Amino acid sequence: MSADLAIETHHLGRIYTIRNRRERRIRKEIVALQDVNLEVPRGELFGLLGPNGAGKTTLIKILTTLLAPTTGWARVAGYDVVREPQKIRPRINMVSGGETSGYGLLTVRENLWMFAQFYGLPSREANRRIEDLLRRIGLADRIHTKSSDLSTGLRQKMNIVRGFLTDPEILFLDEPTLGLDVNAARDVRQFIREWMDAHPDRTVLLTTHYMVEADELCDRVAIISQGRVLACDSPEALKRRLRREALFDIEITAPNGLTAAALEALPGVRKAVLSDADGGALLKLVLAEDSALPGVIGVLTERAVRVRHLTKREPTLEDVFVELVGRPLAEEEGRDEP
């Protein structure tokens, strides 16, 4: 337990129990978090990268004192989340993306002013900050708009400003760009980065299932899947693990019954992922070294699969995720990365 840690978790776990509506004795247990050990020093922009259902929101809820863990413990700003929530709350704030919260009958300024009041911020200071932050995030012209008249994206921006408004020591952002269009998401990322640069002693814990967001924004990233943290390091260091290996993307014609498993059985092939692409398929390979490539090409030729395009590339966090979890991060997600 160190005073320099903004966040510390120790074998943290959470199980949800769902009771059957009719027969209350029938229960189902969902393990949302398991054995999570994290240490986030002050001043860090820490990312939690994982697909839907990985447990990111559950972790944020525990750290923001909204939800009790079922095992282990967590400290935020040095205080225990279960026993000392009153000590933690003045020091933190929280924003969840992908939802429309707020008092629709109040204007943007009134909504924000009200939350600032909860934190004991003097009105004049609150109004100064509101104007400043709204300008930075590109919402200044809507300050007197009723928040019910805002689009979902703008409402989310207002909500993000609410999080920063109280100048929290530790800020929790749960998928802050979820549901935003590409431009708005870029605004938000830039806003977060600039705020961190201006407040180097502040800590941000951000969750995302967008690989680029974690890579671009975060000092360190924990990769989480099915409630477990599989790796935790700087994006650079995570990718460096793969640099010894050779990554190839091969665009091919229809795979003709070829499977990823068959390719992985070849010597030197660490990982193969096949996905559909326009009029054919995309084959992503992680090879122990370049010399394993001819073997793969040989198998393709045997099956009469033609190579349309072949690239060797630098590893991304996506590759790290595939390597750790065995499947791509978010193949079902709709939004294109910028």
Ligand X SMILES: Nc1ncnc2c1ncn2[C@@H]1O[C@H](COP(=O)(O)OP(=O)(O)O)[C@@H](O)[C@H]1O
Q: Find where tokens 């447990």 sit.
A: 55
Q: Does 100 contact Mg ion by CB under 5 A?
A: no
Under rule CB under 6 A, residue 55 binds ligand X:
yes
What ranges in 199-253 are assigned the alpha helix state H? 211-217, 235-243
CA 320 to chain centre: 15
In whole angstroms, how close is the CB of 159 to ligand X at the nearest point?
17
120 or 279: whose CB is closer to another protein?
Answer: 120
Q: Any contact of residue 57 with Mg ion (CB under 5 A)?
A: yes
Residue 9 makes contact with ligand X by CB under 6 A: no
* Residue in 2, 11, 18, 128 binding ligand X, rule: CB under 6 A: 18
**In this structure, what token pair is assigned to residue 29?**
């247990």
CB of 56 or CB of 271, closer to ligand X: 56
Query: Which residues 20-49 are close enough to bind ligand X by CB under 6 A?
Result: 30, 32
For Cα atoms 319, 323, 327, give the angle at the middle one, nearest 5 degrees.
Answer: 85
Dihedral angle, C-alpha 271, 276, 281, 282, nearest 10 °: -40
The string over 299-327, giving b where at least 16 C-beta atoms fall within 10 Å of a residue's C-beta and e elsewhere, is: bbeeeebeeeeeeeeebbbbbbbbbebee
Report, in Å, the least distance between residue 44 CB and ligand X. Answer: 20
Q: Binding residues for another protein, per CB under 8 A?
A: 16, 61, 64-68, 86, 89-90, 92-94, 96, 99-106, 110, 114-115, 117-120, 162
| Min CB(70)–ligand X separation in Å | 12
Binding flag, residue 95, ligand X (CB under 6 A) = no
Binding partner of 110, given another protein, Mg ion, ligand X, none, CB within 5-8 angstroms per partner class: another protein
Question: What string of DSSP letters covers 13-72?
Answer: EEEEEEE-SS-TT-EEEEEEEEEEEEEEETT-EEEEE--TTSSHHHHHHHHTTSS--SEE
Answer for which of 8, 9, 38, 58 binds ligand X (CB under 6 A) is 58
Contacted by 265, from another protein, Mg ion, ligand X, none: CB < 5 to 8 Å by type: none
Closest CA to 34 of 226, 229, 227: 227
* Chosen from another protein, ligand X, Mg ion, none, partner binding at 190 (C-beta under 5 to 8 Å by type): none
Taking the C-alpha atoms of residue 223 and residue 48, their distance in angstroms, rounded to an integer, is 6
53 binds, among Mg ion, another protein, ligand X, none (CB under 5 to 8 A by kind): ligand X
User: Is 226 an interacting residue with respect to Mg ion (CB under 5 A)?
Assistant: no
- Picked from ligand X, Mg ion, another protein, none, the partner binding residue 230 (CB below 5 to 8 A depending on kind) is none
57 binds ligand X (CB under 6 A): yes
Q: Are 5 and 39 in contact (CB under 8 A)?
A: yes
CB-CB neighbours of 236 under 10 Å: 10
Which has the closest alpha carbon to 99: 56, 48, 160?
160
Beta-carbon contacts of 52 under 8 Å, excluding residues fewer than 6 positions away, are 209, 330
129 touches, from ligand X, another protein, Mg ion, none (C-beta below 5 to 8 Å by class): none
Is the Cβ of residue 105 or residue 265 nearer to another protein in the bound state? 105
Please say which residue, 101 or 226, places its beta carbon nearer to another protein.
101
Number of residues interacting with Mg ion: please give it, by CB under 5 A: 2
* Binding stretches for ligand X (CB under 6 A): 16, 18, 30, 32, 50, 52-58
